[in-house]
Amino acid sequence: MKRRPPRYSAVRLLSRGARKSVWPRVWREVPLRDSYDAVVIGGGVHGLATAYYLAANHGITNVAVLEKSYLGSGGSGRNTAILRSNYLTPEGVVFYDRSLELYRTMAVDLNMNVMFSRRGHITLAHSDASLRTMHWRAEVNKLQGVDSSVIGPAEIKQLAPALDTSSHPRYPILGALYHPPGGIIRHDAVVWGYARGADALGVEMHQKTEVVDIVVTGGDGPGGKGPGGRVTGVRTSRGDISAPVVVNCTAGWATLISDMAGVSLPISTRPLQAAVTEPVKVFLPVVVVSGTLHVYVSQTARGELVFGASVDPYNTYNIRGSLDFTEGTAGHLLELMPGISRMRLLRQWAGLCDMTPDYSPVMGFTPVEGFLCDVGWGTYGFKAGPVSGEQMAEAIATQRTPELIAPFSLSRFESDALVGEKGAAAVGH
Amino acid sequence: MLIVPCPNCGPRNSADLRYVGESRPRPDPNSTSTEEWRAYLYERANPAGMLRETWYCRSGCRRFFTLERDTVTNEFTNPPTPVAKLGKRP
């Protein structure tokens, strides 16, 4: 049941504008059925990308995406929209680089203006130790064919004149890891693009549909759940659904969903706060990150400065902001760019992050047959959305783990094969 | 901002303390199985609700203690329990 939504183009925009015709809804709202080939829990970029690639690459279109709120209401609409692939481990670098490749052609692939601005990304080093890590990351990146290099203060000043590269600050800028392919994107458009693309291929999106239980039979745990069991469906706030495949793409709520299937995960939920200033003229042409000062900042197309910090230091499902964050992060930002001291803050918000011990995700099959996870995305999930969707779709369609995500399987915690990305993912976005 | 009730120092800003994490009994590393030890190291309950957790009052009394907090509302319910052996993580 392939539909043809109107293609977005400048000609159509003009002609529809001239005729004052109303654009149709971007995706349909259809009644919830009681059976699907696959159910994806979570309507963010990961869930929608998984559903989209299931339909687009593998022809599996009898798929439902269940979202307890509205599409893109979680981390997908709360992140700071920074894309990069300058990670620390070879596994991480090739994985995130594939994501960047998909982002690069996304506007054409999805016929949606996602406003990807490949403006360059610099990660500042304020100590000899972090400069050493930057060199390490640059070499790992080069080996995987990713454009990264270490630059000095003079080049940093050229890229971002607003930065204080003098020796005055408490943490002087000694150098930086420069990653030209990095940049920012409009995160809502990515969500809408995947939703629209998936809808056109026959995938159903159900908003305001909360999963309350997952039906598992034959497992070792209580109620037939747990390892060795098999998924047969989900119970939702709007009725029961039977499905042989259930995918958990619920980020901060990941453990609550996997508990329903009897799968325990090495995940803690922590909030991550971000904030945005009033819009001003363009003065910051690159994305700037400082791990030492726990801050990353970029200027949007509208001229606002978007900045964020690392996760809050304690577990919580509460997304209230805190003065600690505003005070601390604004102070750090001023240390980097003293010239912005008169700028006013527009708003701040928080999103939930599903943190793993090694700062790498948990992807693929679990001990419960038919129950797959694409979680543990912590503070780096948005940039990995497309590749995760593509690889998860392949895993579901072929029933085997693709090579690209094999290092991120849940079983790595049983074999002590952790993928330590803390050095490149803890703050550096 | 979270105000943490330290048993010795009274209510303190969470920035004055260090969050150690979920309180779990530590298996004896000499006699436990590898699976149990790994589960202790990595697995987390991560509930949306009551959680017993360990804090360290780093800029006050420098003691470890455990508390119960609702992770949805961030309210502490029970009075803090000092960890039996001072300075040793539970």
Domain ranges of chain B: 3-24+39-82
Gap between the terminal Cα atoms of chain B: 25
Tokens of B85: 């052996």
* Domain A32-85+87-110+187-266+358-425, CATH: 3.50.50.60
B53 vs A contacts (CB less than 8 Å): 314-315
Q: Please tell me the predicted confidence (pLDDT) of residue A3.
A: 60
pLDDT in tens, A26-65: 999 999 999 999 999 999 999 999 999 999 999 999 999 9
Quote the pLDDT of residue A22. Answer: 87
What ipTM did this prediction achieve? 0.88
Exposed/middle/buried for A17, CB within 10 Å: 0-12, 13-18, 19+? exposed
How many inter-chain contacts (A to B, CB under 8 Å) are there? 65
Q: What angle do CA A40, A45, A51 make, to 5 degrees?
A: 40
Find, in chain A, the residue whose alpha carbon is nearest to that of B35.
Answer: A414
Q: Is the pLDDT of residue A428 over 90?
A: no
The yes-or-no verdict on residue A1 having pLDDT over 60 is no
Q: What is the pTM of this model?
A: 0.93
**pLDDT, chain A, mean:** 93
* Own/partner long-range contacts of B18-21 (Cβ < 8 Å, ≥24 apart): B18/A313, B18/B55, B18/B56, B18/B58, B19/A313, B19/A314, B19/A315, B19/B53, B19/B55, B20/B53, B20/B54, B20/B55, B20/B56, B20/B64, B20/B89, B21/A268, B21/A315, B21/B53, B21/B54
pLDDT at A23: 86
What does the block give as tokens for B28? 């004896």
Q: Say yes or no to pLDDT of B89 above 70.
A: no
DSSP H or E segment with residue A242: strand A239-242
Two tokens, residue A58: 């593998």
**Per the structure block, which two tokens stand in for A177?**
């890891």
A41: DSSP letter? E
Residue among B22, B51, B73 minimizing CB distance to A318: B73
Chain A contact set for B44 (CB, 8 A): 255, 265-268
The number of CA neighbours under 13 Å toward the Cβ of A280 is 18
Q: What's at A331, amino acid-wise?
A: G
Report the residue of B3, B4, B42, B72 to disrupt the A interface, i.e. the one with the largest count of A CBs within 10 Å: B42
Q: Do A317 and B72 touch (CB under 8 A)?
A: yes
Fold (CATH) for B3-24+39-82: Folate-binding fold (3.30.2270)
CB contact under 8 A, A269 and B53: no
pLDDT tens by residue, A228-242 = 999 999 999 999 999
Is A42 within 8 Å of A250 (Cβ atoms)? yes
Q: How close is the nearest chain A Cα to the Cα of B38, in Å?
A: 7
Is the pLDDT assigned to residue A429 strictly greater than 60?
no
Residues of B within 8 A of A266 (CB-CB) are 42-44
Residue A414, chain B, CB below 8 Å: the answer is yes
Q: What is the pLDDT of residue A272?
A: 94
Q: Are residues B13 and A324, on separate chains, in Cβ contact within 8 Å?
A: yes
Query: What residues of chain A lie within 8 A of the CB of B14, using their CB?
Result: 313-314, 324
Average pLDDT over residues A347-354: 95
Residues of chain A contacting B22 with CB distance shorter than 8 Å: 268, 315
Asked if pLDDT for residue A145 goes beyond 90, the answer is yes
What pLDDT does A427 receive? 59
Distances (CA, A) of A331 to A335, A340, A427, B31: 6, 11, 16, 49
Q: What is the mean pLDDT of residues A319-323?
A: 89
Residues 6+ apart with CB under 8 A from A386: A45, A49, A99, A102, A103, A106
Residue A401 identity (one-letter amino acid): T
Contact A251, A42 (CB under 8 A): yes
Question: With an 8 Å Cβ cutoff, is A59 touching chain B?
Answer: no
CA distance A41 to A185: 24
Q: Which residue has the tokens 């699976």?
A: B35
Q: Are strands A211-217 and A38-41 parallel, antiparallel or unpaired?
A: unpaired
Residue-range domain boundaries for chain A: 32-85+87-110+187-266+358-425, 121-180+268-355
**Pairwise CA distance, residues A397 & A56, whole Å:** 12
> What's the CA gap between B62 and B86, in Å, rounded?
9
* Whether pLDDT at B87 is above 60: no
Domain spanning A121-180+268-355: CATH superfamily: D-Amino Acid Oxidase, subunit A, domain 2 (3.30.9.10)
Measure CB to CB from residue B71 to each of A317, A323, A416 and give the nearest one: A317
Q: Are strands A204-206 and A63-66 parallel, antiparallel or unpaired?
A: parallel
Measured in angstroms, the CA of B76 and the nearest CA of chain A are apart by: 12
Mean predicted confidence (pLDDT) in A104-116: 95
Neighbours of A298 (CB within 10 A): 25
Distances (CA, A) of A243 to A39, A254, A354: 6, 19, 26
- Å between B8 CA and nearest CA of chain A: 21
Torsion, Cα of A128, A132, A138, A142 (10° steps): 150
Going by pLDDT thresholds of 50, 70 and 90, the confidence category of residue A2 is low
Whether pLDDT at B24 is above 90: no
CA distances for A360 relative to A32, A103, A401, A422, angstroms? 34, 20, 17, 8
What is the mean pLDDT of the segment spanning A333-362?
94
Q: What per-residue confidence (pLDDT) applies to A420?
A: 81
Report how far residue B28's alpha carbon sits from residue B32's, in angstroms, rounded to the nearest whole number.
6
Give SS3 for A382.
helix
SS3 (DSSP) at B20? strand
* pLDDT classification of A415: cutoffs 50, 70, 90: confident
A81-107 average pLDDT score: 94
Residue A334 has pLDDT above 80, yes or no: yes
CB < 8 Å to B73, chain A: 318
